[in-house]
Amino acid sequence: MMRGYIHFADTLSTSLGKAFSWCIVVLMGGTCYEVIMAYAFNAPTLWNFDFSLQMYAGIFMMAAAYTLSTEAHVRGDVIYRLFKPKTQAKIDLVLYFIFFFPGVLALVFYGYDYAAQAWKIKETSWNSPAQINIYMAKTFIPLSGLSLTIQGISEVFRCIICIQTGHWPARAVVAAEETEKMLMRTSQEEDQKDVI
């Protein structure tokens, strides 16, 4: 049951991460449009700055669960990595309940109230000359908390399995990888070919 839930949560997080990664393309398109309008036609837009903030919010908040599922969040693991997997799992399990879940559950419950109020009054940006609508973007707050909660439960199950077996369960295939890691792997593969 735990492994099935882990697979479900990883699949959901990866799907959300991939879907919201397209915001980068939209964000780039908006930025290029703004630069062309401002410098080529001397007609900058009023809405593009706020639009960019909303796209960035979508990327940042809705890809958080994907980042958690791939262990890509920043962590100070100078001492942690020296421990055996069972000890790591015990530490993680305690820390998830002390720090992680209170924060993400606050995002869900308080974020829902915050977003609901924004939808009720059809909130617009107070610092924007275009008065762009922001109530839709505020919906990302509880949704991000919900997706992080789903993935956090999966991480707790990983800890329990590791405590039982002494090994971390395998993670889903990473949809994106840092360029540095890709180059190192390619270099190692080429070195192995040279040896053969």
Mean pLDDT of 78-102: 95
Residue burial 3-35, b: 16+ Cβ < 10 Å; e: rest: eeebeebbebbbebbeebbebeeebeebeeebe
Per-residue pLDDT, 46: 85
Among 57, 50, 59, smallest CA distance to 125 is for 50
Place of tokens 């199950």: 157
**What is the model's pTM?**
0.83
Q: What is the mean pLDDT of the chain?
A: 89
User: How far is residue 155's CA from residue 159's CA, in Å, rounded to a whole number?
Assistant: 6
Under the banding of pLDDT at 50, 70 and 90, the label for residue 134 is confident
User: How far is residue 14's CA from residue 8's CA, in Å, rounded to a whole number?
Assistant: 10
